[in-house]
Structures are given as C-alpha cells and as structure tokens.
Amino acid sequence: MDAEERIARGMLYTESDAAFLADRRRADLLFEYNRTPPGAVDRRTQLLGRILGSVGRNPVVASPLHAAYGSNVHLGDDFYGNVNLTFVDDVEIRIGDGVMIAPSCTLTTTGHPVHPQLRQDYNRFSEPIVLADKVWLGSNVVVLPGVTIGSGAVIGAGSVVSKDVPPMVVAVGVPCRPVRDITDADLTQRQPPGLG
C-alpha cells in the first residue's frame, strides 16, 4: 500500500512518506497574507483563494492565520475566523456556510502515536474534520482529528473536541460534551455562560 492510500485510510505515515505533498504547502502565501493590511480586502480575499483549497463568498479571516498546508482547507460562504486561527490540514478540513471561529482556535487533522518509538520521522495519522453550517467555536477551542461538528452547534471557549458533536447543541469542556440543546428560547437571550 502506498503512502497516499495509508494517509487516506487514517493509518500511520512518516514525514518522509509525505514528502510528495510538499508542493501543496502555501507557507510563502501565508506569510504574504499575514503581512497584508486589513484594509486591503480585495488583496486579502485573492490571497485566501490562492492559499486555501476553496473559499466561499464574503470570507473574513483576521491575521495571523496559520496552516500546515492551507490547500486542504475548504471554507463555505460568510466565514469568519478571528486572530490566531490554526489549521493543521494534512488532510481535508471542510467548513460550511456561516461558520464563526473566535480567537486562537486550532483545527488539527493530525495526531501522533502515544508510544515514543512509533514517533520516529514524525510518524503520524490524519483524519478529516468537518464543521457544518452555522457552527460557532468559542475562543481557544481545539478540534481533534476525525471530528464532525453538526449544524448550528456552539462549542464553548477552551473546549477540546475529541468526538463528534450533534447539531443544535451547546457543548463544552475537556473533553467536550453536549450540555444542552439550542432551542427557540435562545432567540431571546445573549449567550450561556462560558462561551465567547
């Protein structure tokens, strides 16, 4: 089985195995993006289109933006990403429409084996991440490999999301767990404690 198939199956692979992916990295473009003035909206949007795999309408991504590749990230329409957003996108990260991400969040598709002897040559595994439409991640959220967060879900600040989150729930904690449904009662209040 070749490296590309092992990566696609979520199996272990090394940095040497992944060398064929080097041309997909967008480090120089990220460097340029992070030094482009916030008011240069057209230029920033054009750069995002060259950095990311796909970008919907009306993206707002504050600098600095960090990505392992960039080319494996796909943003829907009306995306908002605040400062210090990090994509460890060794495989795909798919983000739906109307998603908001607060400061200093990390979405990492990649993890490493627990046993140190298996971490030679940066041995790792990668699994895709999906954020469905209208997801909101509070500040300092970490989303781990293979996670899907359902439409409309809200993830509280500081949470570590290691398992799938269903749609239309508030989920918080380390590890992150749903604590309640989002209902029409939420149309009349600001936000539950612990978010933002």
Q: Give the DSSP per-residue string, the chain.
A: --HHHHHHTT--B-TTGGGGGGGGB-HHHHHHHHTS-TT-HHHHHHHHHHHSSEE-SS-EEPSPEEESSBTTEEE-TT-EE-TTEEEE-SS-EEE-TT-EE-TT-EEE-EE--SSGGGGGGG-BEE--EEE-TT-EE-TT-EE-TT-EE-TT-EE-TT-EE-S-B-SSEEEETTTTEEEEE--GGGGGS---TT--
Q: What is the mean pLDDT of residues 37-54?
A: 96
Task: Supply the mean pLDDT for the chain.
Answer: 94
Q: What is the mean pLDDT of residues 152-177?
A: 98
150 or 17: which leads in pLDDT: 150
Residue 187 confidence (pLDDT): 87
Q: What is the dihedral of CA 26, 31, 37, 39, to 10 degrees?
A: 10
Q: Rounded distance, CA 55 to CA 128, Å?
A: 17
Q: Is 107 within 8 Å of 88 (Cβ atoms)?
A: yes
In the chain, the percentage of residues whose pLDDT exceeds 70 is 97
State the pLDDT confidence band at 191, using cuts at 50, 70 and 90. Answer: low
Structure tokens at 180: 């309640």
State the pLDDT confidence band at 137, using cuts at 50, 70 and 90. Answer: very high
Predicted TM-score of the model (pTM): 0.93
Those residues with Cβ within 8 angstroms of residue 1's Cβ, 6 or more apart along the chain or in another chain: 11
Q: Both ends of the chain: CA-CA distance in Å? A: 44
- Which residues are annotated as catalytic? 112
What's the chain's length in residues?
A: 196
Assign domain 3-188 one CATH number from 3.30.565.40, 3.40.50.300, 2.160.10.10, 3.40.50.150. Answer: 2.160.10.10
* Domain range list for the chain: 3-188
Residue 194 confidence (pLDDT): 52
pLDDT in tens, 76-123: 999 999 999 999 999 999 999 999 999 999 999 999 999 999 998 899
Q: Rounded distance, CA 74 to CA 94, Å?
A: 5
